Structure 1
Amino acid sequence: MKLYYAETLAPRKTCAVAKYLGLPIEYTFVDLTKGEHRKPDYLAINPNGKVPCLVDGGRSIWEADAIISHFATRAKSDLWPTDDRQIDVLRWFSWNNHHFYPHAGMLYFESIIKPVFGLGGPDPLKVAEEQGMFRKSASVLEQHLKGRKWLLGDGLSVADFSVAIALPYAKTAAMPLDEFPEMQRWHDQLNEIEAWRNPFPVRSATSAANAALNA
């Protein structure tokens, strides 16, 4: 399996799950600052021009949530449940992509991505707006986590890796995570996992710009 990645949010979850499961992955770094995701050879495997992308044999799989589910299935791991909790995983994937991640991701963009790509500093009005939307979605997640160790109950799943992916950057990206003690407790548990804390493979040379993306 060959995983094309960059050191940004969506690829982070795929690298974390691959490392957690100990999968034999060939990693290929895609330098976004050089536009490598828009080159014809990459567009041939992912016409969306996005990262991550997984090539497994003759199959090309786009989208991080699909990739982490594929990893768990291939590894026969209980990160992908075999019972009716599969619907809960899909529910949290959908909820995250439509409600929580857009706002956490925009705070990440304002504080971390914009400076790297020379787009200026954070827009205070945009940050305030996104913080408000973050709080709205986080309140739903906060209530759900009460009395639960993980999103699906007692067992860690791909849903946890997916929904929490922006939280390692909460302090740097001005996400008001400290207002939500259940979410903080949940993320503290994830931080006990080495693959969550340090998901990316070591590269021989890391530019200052790309290192900043993982700050």
Structure 2
Amino acid sequence: MKLYYSETLAPRKACAVAKYLGLPIEYVYVDLGKGEHTTPAYLALNPNGKVPCLVDGERSIWEADAIICHLAQRAESPLWPRGMQQQTDVVRWLSWNSQHLYRHSGSLYFEHLIKPAIGLGAPDSAKVAEAQGWFRKHAGVLDRHLKDRKWLLGDELSIADFSVAVPLPYAASAAMPLEEFPEVTRWHDRLNALEAWRNPFPSRPAHAAATA
């Protein structure tokens, strides 16, 4: 298997799950600054020109949530639960996250981290305030759900936890008001006990990292 990634938000969840599972994967860094995601060779793998992308044999799988589902199933890991009801709950949280928490935390991530990195100027204060408002609303839903639960599905860690929590390592630097939500903070602290969560990205040669 080959996992094409960059050190950005969506690939983080794919790299974290891959590392947690310990699967034999070749990691291929895609330099977004150099436009490597727009080359004909890469677009043949992922016509959306996005990262991550997983190539497993003849299959090319894009979208981070689909990739982590595939990795957990391929490893026969309980990160993809066996029970039908729990599988439905995983899909529910993946869908909820893409439309709600990830969407608005991603806006804060873009305003505070991506824009300065690519020379687009300072954060737009109006967009930041709007995204923070939505973050508070949806983090409140998550906070209430996590009360008396260890993980999103209860006692068992799943890919849903890896997916929903992926913006939270950037909370401080992207002005996400995470500290207002003690249950979400407790849950994320539990994830931070996992090496694969804290350090998901593979090491790259020093000269490659310096020129990225």
- Percent sequence identity over matched residues? 71
Q: CA separation in 2, counterparts of 1:19 and 1:92?
A: 22
Look up the equivalent residue of 2:86 and give its one-letter code: R
What residue number does 1:207 align with?
Answer: 210
SS of the residue corresponding to residue 55 of structure 1 reads strand
SS of the residue corresponding to residue 54 of structure 2 reads strand
Shift of 1:125: 1.4
What residue number does 2:43 align with?
Answer: 43
Q: Does 1:186 align with 2:187?
A: yes
What residue number does 2:138 align with?
Answer: 137
Q: Does 1:20 align with 2:23?
A: no
Deviation digits for residues 145-187 of structure 1 (CA, Å, limit 9, x no counterpart): 0110000000000000000000000000000000000000000
Q: CA separation in 1, counterparts of 2:31 and 2:115?
A: 16
Aligned positions of 1:1-215 closer than 5 A: 1-83=1-83, 84-204=85-205, 205-207=208-210
Q: CA separation in 2, counterparts of 1:175 and 1:57?
A: 39
Shift of 1:207: 3.3
Look up the equivalent residue of 1:207 and give its one-letter code: A
Deviation digits for residues 93-128 of structure 1 (CA, Å, limit 9, x no counterpart): 000001111100000000000011111111111111
Q: CA separation in 1, counterparts of 2:188 and 2:116?
A: 26
Look up the equivalent residue of 1:50 and give its one-letter code: K
- For this pair of structures, how many residues does the alignment match? 209
Look up the equivalent residue of 1:117 and give its one-letter code: I
Structure 1, unaligned stretches of length 5 or more? 211-215
RMSD: 0.8
Q: CA separation in 2, counterparts of 1:59 and 1:126?
A: 38
Q: CA separation in 1, counterparts of 2:27 and 2:117?
A: 23
Q: CA separation in 1, counterparts of 2:178 and 2:155?
A: 22
- Runs (4 or more) in structure 1 with deviation over 3 Å come to none
Q: CA separation in 1, counterparts of 2:100 and 2:19?
A: 27
What residue number does 1:213 align with?
Answer: none
Q: TM-score, normalised by structure 2?
A: 0.97
Shift of 1:29: 0.4
Structure 2, unaligned stretches of length 5 or more? none
Q: CA separation in 2, counterparts of 1:73 and 1:157?
A: 11
Q: TM-score, normalised by structure 1?
A: 0.96
Shift of 1:206: 1.0
